[in-house]
Amino acid sequence: MSEHENSNAPTVEAESAKRRPVGGTELSWCKAVTGGTGITVLALLLSKPPDITLLRNALHKLQISHPILNSQLHFNPTSNSYSYITPPAPHLQIQPFDLQLTSQILQTLDSGNPTSISPFHLILEHELNKNAWQNLDPSVDTVADLFFASTYTLENGRWVVALRLHTSACDRTSALALLRELLGLIGGEGLDSLELGKDMEISLGIEDYIPSGKGNKPFWARGVDMLGYSLNSLRFANLSFKDTESPRMSQVVRLQLNSEDTDRILSGCKSRDIELCGLLAAAALIATHSLKGLPHDRWEKYAVVTLTDCRSNLDPVLSNHHIGFFHSAILNTHDVGGGENLWELAKRTYNSFANAKNNNKHFSDMADINFLMCKAIENPSLTPSGSLRTSLISVFEDPMINHSDKEHQGIGLEDFMGCASVHGVGPVLGYI
């Protein structure tokens, strides 16, 4: 089977489909994904061959329960606008890759640059760089599915199930909910009615759930803030790309800590009344300054974006099983001169974020950051390749907690990884 994917999905009949325009944050992802930023992948490593019929039925149930997963992205060149079209019935098909095809893919990925990365890891990166939304014809009406599924056959009796989604329809919280619901369905456990089947209608964009008054900002204040964001971005210090000629792609670095080290780090955060995101951001800032070999008295200004899940602060409050993109970003700047104490810098970075969030900056600045992100994407020549990103690094406010479930051993689940492509934005730190 060819690996070619037809991104122009069959158009559903207008009278049988539901439609809504994308929101402001969703629009940012629609524009970003053409350059490779905004492809969410969830990969499962199995020790037992997946039952394709069972898997397809489970995915169809999820599409019925969460209609955004069954939707198609439509672009109208006349109005230059995007919208979601949701057909009445699920139509997702699983693309299988047998051992021969999978081996060919792995050989291509490993050719010229052999690595010790596992085949499972390579398949994840391969999926991150498969862009079904890259070559949509902007001159005609086009539609593309938001959700793709594939299976890969590895050697030594291992299989990979890969789910690939447009990030506008699936943030990090959604990906974890999708994983848990899928495992419950294919494991034969069933799911609590509160977890599965609650959406039933395609939800609105995050902007429509912002509590009254929290997203308001005077017109003059919005103009001042946008000017400030624009001017400050010219002063940010970033790590330059070493290779500016090759096509951009996303790669994943995975670091696993044992329980003892994890407990020690979390205890250190708790005793200082900060969250893990502050420590990770501080470590990245110190590492960047050190990597450049700068003297301790040479100060640089770095930007850190912290992504926060807004579900619990929306009106109405949304559950973690409400699929879609409901994160917002807060951008803070930090001056680093070298020689900083890690925990002191972590305290400073976290407090900057927490103060901004307490002042509702994740709501009031949402439109500003989305606008600037879109403008940077539309005008890439305005920024050098070394700074064509929102910040030095992005971190998530909350960790994802994985509770190992013995029942999942029945389906042969050995490992899973999930992340989103960011090679048009910059590095991101996620943690489980």
Instruction: Please indicate, yes or no, whether residues 282 and 416 belong to a single structural domain of this protein.
Output: yes
| CATH number, domain with residue 178 | 3.30.559.10
Q: Could you say which of 187, 206, 225 is where a domain stops?
A: 206
Q: What is the pLDDT of residue 311?
A: 97
- Domain final residue, candidates 183, 206, 229: 206
Does residue 4 lie in a domain region? no
Does residue 134 share a domain with residue 93? yes
Residue 132 sits in the same domain as residue 241: no
**Beta carbons within 8 Å of 47's beta carbon, 6+ residues apart:** 157, 158, 159, 412, 414
Burial of 367 (0-12, 13-18, 19+ CB in 10 A): middle
Q: Which of 195, 178, 160, 144 is nearest to 5 (CA)?
A: 144
In the sheet with 72-76, reading across from the earlier edge strand, the strands are 18-21, 81-86, 72-76, 142-145
pLDDT given at position 243:
72
374 in the same domain as 245: yes
CATH number at residue 373: 3.30.559.30
Domain assignment present for residue 5? The answer is no
Amino acid letter, 188: G
In a domain, 3, yes or no: no
The pLDDT assigned to 290 comes to 92
Residue 177 in domain: yes
In a domain, 88, yes or no: yes
Query: Closest Cα partner for 177 from 150, 160, 196, 205?
Result: 196
User: Is there a domain that residue 1 lies in?
Assistant: no
Domain shared by 216 and 171, yes or no: no
Please tell me whether residues 262 and 387 are part of one structural domain.
yes
Whether 196 and 331 map to the same domain: the answer is no
User: What is the 3-class SS of the chain, one letter each residue?
Assistant: CCCCCCCCCCCCCHHHCEEEECCHHHHHHHHHHHHCEEEEEEEEEECCCCCHHHHHHHHHHHHHHCHHHHCEEEEECCCCEEEEEECCCCCCCEEEECHHHHHHHHHHHHCCCCCCCCHHHHHHHHHHCCCCCCCCCCCCCEEEECEEEEEEEECCCEEEEEEEEEHHHCCHHHHHHHHHHHHHHHCCCCCCCCCCCCCCCCCCCHHHHCCCCCCCCCHHHHHHHHHHHHHHHCCCCCCCCCCCCCCCCCCCCCCCCCHHHHHHHHHHHHHCCCCHHHHHHHHHHHHHHHHCCCCCCCCEEEEEEEEEECHHHCCCCCCCCCCCCCEEEEEEEEEECCCCCHHHHHHHHHHHHHHHHHCCHHHHCHHHHHHHHHHHHHCHHHCCHHHCCCCCEEEECCCCCCCCCHHHHHHCEEEEEEEEEECCCCCEECCC
Q: Whole domain around residue 257: which residue ranges? A: 208-429
* pLDDT of res. 197: 47
| Cβ neighbours for 353, distance < 8 A, ≥ 6 positions apart | 277, 278, 304, 306, 330, 332, 397
Residue 154 domain flag: yes
Which of 163, 189, 206 delimits the end of a domain?
A: 206
pLDDT along the chain (432 residues), means of 10: 53 69 94 88 96 96 96 92 94 97 92 78 95 78 93 97 97 94 82 50 91 81 68 74 76 90 96 97 94 87 94 96 96 92 98 97 90 72 56 88 67 91 68 52
- CA pair distance 394, 421, nearest whole angstrom: 13
Check whether residue 280 and residue 325 sit in a common domain. Answer: yes
Rounded to 5°, the CA angle 321-322-324 comes to 125
**Is residue 28 located within the same domain as residue 140?**
yes
Q: Are 181 and 139 found together in one domain?
A: yes
My answer on whether 202 and 215 are in the same domain is no
Looking at the structure, do residues 47 and 138 belong to the same domain, yes or no?
yes
Confirm whether 335 is domain-assigned: yes
Q: Domain tally for the chain?
A: 2
